[in-house]
Amino acid sequence: MRNQLKFRSIFLVILCVFLLVTGFQQLYAQNAKKNKVRLKAQYVKIMDGEIAINIKATSKIKKKNIKVANLEITVYNELEDEKIKLGTTTTNIKGESKFVIKNTNAIKADSTNTYTIKISFKGNDSYKKASKSISFKDAVIKAKLITKDSLNYISATLIDKSTDSVIVDEGLAVQVQRLFSPLIIGKAFNTTDKNGTILVPIEKGIPGVNGNLIIEVVLDDSDNYGTVKALVNAPIGTPIIDESTFNKRTMWSPRNKTPLFILIFTNILIIGIWGILLYLITNLFKISKSKI
């Protein structure tokens, strides 16, 4: 009797351990691979253009920050009592995505005239769910090119659309659009005066295609208004002159642009010599055919 009891209890213990281990493994298997995702959202508005929410997804795996690709992100417009789904987007191989909203009319602000956008990721086998909210008020930049005494200036005014009042003491950057990164004109920050305006002189001699420059006036990543960008077409640049030798006949051009000297000289030599060689070969035939 006692032996049986011992036997049974040992058996039961082994069984319990077994079940626990397998069960634990299942649980562990599910949670083992899931990592935390950090979502970043940046609101960028281009005057008379689109609004974009720039989304970045990163994760810290083995102490390294890696970009997370292929995450499905849902974008919502959050109000006090409701959550409107604006759409979904998927992060690309660099873990980034740009979600475009046509203009401010497509989204609603709450009672304090603040827009709130929430981006969320519902989680998948590898990553836990995550979300991020950003809030901003609608600001507007009115920028134009002014020429005074044959000097060029950019004049820009920063206005809070909700209160229709100018924004004072805020820093705006003025820069020229370039291929990789814009070139800043003047100081990094030009603070708006009491009228919410800035006046920045543009130096002469900035090159542009056909003399055209696209100048950006940017309120960069402000706490209240996000990023607002106004573009000004300024045909005040120095026109770009093509310096390349691509269309010229040079020693390094492709065969269709061989320098004339080489073309003519070598062809004369080749035709001359091979002409004579052909004549000699015909002489062989003549010898063969001559009968006497």
Residues lying near other proteins in the complex (CB under 8 A): 8, 11, 15, 18-19, 22, 25-26, 29, 69-70, 92-93, 176, 178-184, 206-209, 240, 242-246, 250-255, 258-259, 262-263, 266, 270, 273-274, 276-277, 279-281, 283-284, 286-292
Distance from C-alpha of 168 to C-alpha of 195, rounded to nearest angstrom: 7
Q: How many CB atoms lie within 10 A of CB 234?
A: 20
CB of 71 to other proteins, least distance (A): 12
Of residues 91 and 190, the one with the C-beta less far from other proteins:
91
Of residues 113 and 266, the one with the C-beta less far from other proteins:
266
Of residues 85 and 286, the one with the C-beta less far from other proteins:
286
DSSP state string for 226-268? EEEEEEEEETTSEEP-----TTS--TTS-GGG--HHHHHHHHH
Asked if residue 244 lies in contact with residue 253, where contact means CB atoms within 8 angstroms, the answer is: no
Asked if residue 57 lies in contact with residue 37, where contact means CB atoms within 8 angstroms, the answer is: yes
The residue written with tokens 């209240």 in the block is 224
Of residues 105 and 179, the one with the C-beta less far from other proteins:
179
DSSP 8-state assignment for residue 35: B
CB of 267 to other proteins, least distance (A): 9
CB of 240 to other proteins, least distance (A): 4
147 torsion bin: left (phi>0), alpha (psi -120 to 50), beta (else) = beta
Local structure of 138: helix, strand or coil: coil
CB of 263 to other proteins, least distance (A): 6
Measured CA distances, 24 to 117, 124, 236 (Å) = 39, 20, 71
Asked if residue 150 lies in contact with residue 157, where contact means CB atoms within 8 angstroms, the answer is: no
CB of 179 to other proteins, least distance (A): 5
For residue 277, the surrounding DSSP H or E stretch is helix 260-289
Of residues 235 and 259, the one with the C-beta less far from other proteins:
259
Of residues 82 and 292, the one with the C-beta less far from other proteins:
292
CB of 250 to other proteins, least distance (A): 8
Of residues 37 and 139, the one with the C-beta less far from other proteins:
37
CB of 81 to other proteins, least distance (A): 38
Distance from C-alpha of 16 to C-alpha of 56, rounded to nearest angstrom: 46
AA identity, residue 116: T
Of residues 34 and 161, the one with the C-beta less far from other proteins:
34
CB of 159 to other proteins, least distance (A): 28
